[in-house]
Amino acid sequence: MTDFWRIPVIDIAALQQDDAVAAGQIAARIGRACETAGFFYVTGHGVPEPVVDGVLAAAAWFFDRPQAERDALDVAGSPCFRGYVPMGITGPGVPHRLLEAFQLMLDLGPDDPDVRAGSVMHGPNRWPEDGLDFRMALETYYSAMTALSDRLLDAFARALGLDAGYFRPYFTKPLTQLRLLHYPPQPPDEDAMGVEAHTDTGAFTILLQDASGGLEVRNRAGEWIAAAPVPGSFVINIGDMMQRWTESRFVSTPHRVANRSGRDRISVPFFANPDYAAVITPVTGDRTEPLACGPYVEAAYRAAWPRAARTPAPV
Ligand SMILES: O=C(O)CCC(=O)C(=O)O
Ligand SMILES: [Fe+2]
């Protein structure tokens, strides 16, 4: 497998035009990036700047609220992993993290069939009391990311030699999660990380990072490659599920964050996950067991936020 020492920047503007040849060329570049680094930047993505600025401003507003207000939205009070995750709260065996978060998924009311059935992955989002602008900024951003993720899914499919729409039916009521992350400035002598080395669980991630820097990606030689902020871009990375879906043709690469910028860092990952009911069988062969998406993502969420889901795990 080829190693990498830089993370490619790919202008995907042509994916939005009606030019199959150009789209094919972009898809091929994306495919090569997914096979080597498992990480790439996109520019020319068409997400309006005010939408991006809006979500960063919303995050700054939220993390500036009094601690008591943030705590009122604690994910521990949510039956479905939505809300605020205070600093340092992680699963068993995971070291303290210099990170707090706000997270949401599809916003589903009591009449939704999955909510009625008691699913811990489906339910309502939680919002601060005077947070109408906050909510609008996040919902607008979530829609923009959904549209971008559809275009990326089509590019992944083309890169794999599949029909462009191959992945779409797996993402009709997706378990996709949006998180706002706040990394306070890290004391130089503090050896805790914002996020320690890990791979992402789901299909793929669209990450917005502010100008602080601090994200690093591990190449196969074990060196940490900085994913420095590129203005106007998003960082895309392949997750474990897409690695499995492609029988490791696309790679899920370890990465970590330490905020040594001396100021607060905000990032906004959008974790694209298929539907609860989706069953993933490898696109390139049949050597791997099918994977039931819902239980897999649910198990990862239960491990990450053990206080959040009061409903007992399915047996
Ligand atoms: O904040 C970042 O830049 C990356 C965060 C991350 O890797 C994650 O939340 O999975
Ligand atoms: Fe990650």
ipTM field: 0.99
Mean pLDDT for the stretch of residues 22-46: 97
pLDDT digits (tens, 9 = 90+) for 195-212: 989 999 999 999 999 999
Span 15-41, average pLDDT:
95
Instruction: Measure 269 CA to ligand 1 centroid, in angstroms.
Output: 6
CA separation for the pair 170, 273 (Å, rounded): 9
Rounded to the nearest angstrom, the distance between the alpha carbon of 271 and the centre of ligand 2 is: 9
| Residue type, position 112, single letter | D
* Ligand 1 pocket by Cβ (under 6 Å): 181, 195, 200, 207, 209, 215, 255, 257, 267, 269
Q: Could you tell me the pLDDT band of residue 92, with boundaries at 50, 70 and 90?
A: low
- pTM comes to 0.95
Q: How far apart are CA 137 and CA 56, in angstroms?
A: 9
**What is the reported pLDDT for 255?**
97
Domains and CATH numbers, the chain: 9-304 (2.60.120.330)
Q: Return d(Cα 160, Cα 28) in angstroms, integer.
A: 9
Ligand nearest to the CA of 209: 1
Q: Which amino acid is at 187?
A: P
pLDDT score recorded for residue 302: 92
Cα–Cα distance, 235 to 231 (Å, whole number): 11
Give the number of the ligand closest to the Cα of residue 267: 1
Q: Which ligand approaches the C-alpha of residue 252 most closely?
A: 2
**Res 174 pLDDT > 70:** yes
Confirm if 157 and 165 have CB atoms less than 8 A apart.
Answer: yes
3-class SS shares of the chain: helix, strand, coil, % to 5: 30, 20, 50
pLDDT at 97 over 90: no
- For residue 289, how far is its CA from the centre of ligand 1 (angstroms)? 29
Extract the tokens encoding 294. Answer: 């819902």
